[in-house]
Amino acid sequence: MVLTSIIPLIRRGAAMAPRLAPRPTVGMARQFHGGFALRNESFFGEVTKNDETKVQETNTEQVDPSNITPATDKALQDKYMEEARAEQISAEKYISPLKRKLFDLNVAQHGFFKNHQIVRDPDADKTYKLSLTVNEIDALEPSIYLRSYRIKSSTKKATVVNRLVRGYTVKSAINQLHFNPKKMATELERLLKRGLEQARKLNYDEEQLYIHALWVGSDGNWQKRVDPKARGRTGIITHPYVHLRAVLRTDLTTKRLRWERDQAFLAAKPSSGLNTEPLNFSVRPYFRW
């Protein structure tokens, strides 16, 4: 009974919080750099203006606190989503918007990314020659970075399984791992299934998704134990913990890599049976003796 009466009060209090307090207009020099003045779309006039509409909206809403679950609590979910976005690793945080746009245009034009090509931006009515570094291409191409949880196993045991499926398409890798009796096979299968689910959400082609990279790392905090031996000696028994990391990529990467290989092949000089390198001494048309 007490709870039901208190919760609306708390919520109302929370809704009041974002109301802007009147700010002094003394420190103008600071505000040139801050985004605060720009947020109100005017430099001086609306600094002290309250955001009335926002407050009214929340007050008119009739919310039954007993019906609120974490999943239906919009404020909570919004906050969590914001946090998750901040933590998410994505190309938007590291590559400039223009490069991203040009990359997308390039992909739309060729079906996959071709480096050092001329791209036309129809919005700005400009043409660019887009040259990206290998790392930039890696970041911009669609990929799924998978991180497993803590696994009680060792690097040696994990590597045996990793080598089996490295480079496989995700689906055939899952197929192989499902019938492998090793523990790490089960762990890896679990991880890849998570990746498959993410790919489905991102609308990637599941069939073409492949394991671009797969490695194992120490997960730290290994436990150690005394191993008593004869004649007053001791050994140390370590309990290793590892994690798996995988990068899944789509056929966009496969196609680009094939194209690059073809280009390299075309650009290569034709091979001749004899040595065509210049001689390593000065050649004169006369005898020196």
Partner 1 sequence: MMLNRNWKSVNIFRIASRSIHHKENFRKYPKVNVKDVELEKPRYGFRKERAPLLSEGVTDTLFPSVEIRKKYIENSKPVPIKYRSRSDEIAKRNYEKYKEEVLTGSPHFRVGEKSVYFPKARICLLRPNAKHTPYQAKFLVPRNFNKMDLRDYLWHVYGLRALNVTVQLLHARFERGPDDHARYRGPQYKKMTIDMEEPFIWPELPNDIVKRAKENYDNQLAIIENKNAVGSDKLKPSEAFGGLYDKPQLSDSFIPKRTKRVGEKSLSSLKEKEESQSNNSLLESYLKL
Binding of residue 203 to partner 1 (CB under 8 A) = no
Helix 155-165 × helix 170-178 angle, to 10°: 130
Q: Are 188 and 244 in contact (CB under 8 A)?
A: yes
CA angle (39, 81, 66) in 5-degree steps: 105
Binding of residue 238 to partner 1 (CB under 8 A) = no
Task: Give the binding-site size for partner 1 (rule: CB under 8 A).
Answer: 48
Among 26, 71, 226, 268, binds partner 1 (CB under 8 A): 71
Binding of residue 2 to partner 1 (CB under 8 A) = no
Binding of residue 33 to partner 1 (CB under 8 A) = yes
Q: Are 209 and 195 in contact (CB under 8 A)?
A: yes
Q: Are 186 and 129 in contact (CB under 8 A)?
A: no
Q: Which of residues 41-70 bind partner 1 (CB under 8 A)?
A: 43, 69-70
Closest separation in Å from C-beta 272 to partner 1: 39
Q: Are 92 and 100 in contact (CB under 8 A)?
A: yes
| Residue 50 or 238 with smaller CB distance to partner 1 | 238
Q: How many other C-beta atoms can be found within 10 angstroms of the C-beta atom of residue 158?
A: 26
Alpha carbon distances (Å) from 238 to 67, 97, 152, 222, 225: 50, 48, 11, 7, 6
Label residues 56-81 b or e (16+ Cβ within 10 Å = b): eeeeeeeeeeeeeeeeeeeeeeeeee
Binding of residue 241 to partner 1 (CB under 8 A) = yes
Among 1, 17, 21, 89, binds partner 1 (CB under 8 A): 89
Binding of residue 225 to partner 1 (CB under 8 A) = no
Binding of residue 150 to partner 1 (CB under 8 A) = yes
Question: What is the three-class DSSP state of 150?
Answer: coil
| Residue 41 or 52 with smaller CB distance to partner 1 | 41
Closest separation in Å from C-beta 165 to partner 1: 17
Binding footprint of partner 1 on the chain (CB under 8 A): 32-33, 35, 38, 43, 69-71, 76-77, 80-81, 83-85, 87-91, 93-96, 135-136, 138-139, 142-145, 147-151, 198, 201-202, 212-213, 219-221, 241, 243, 247
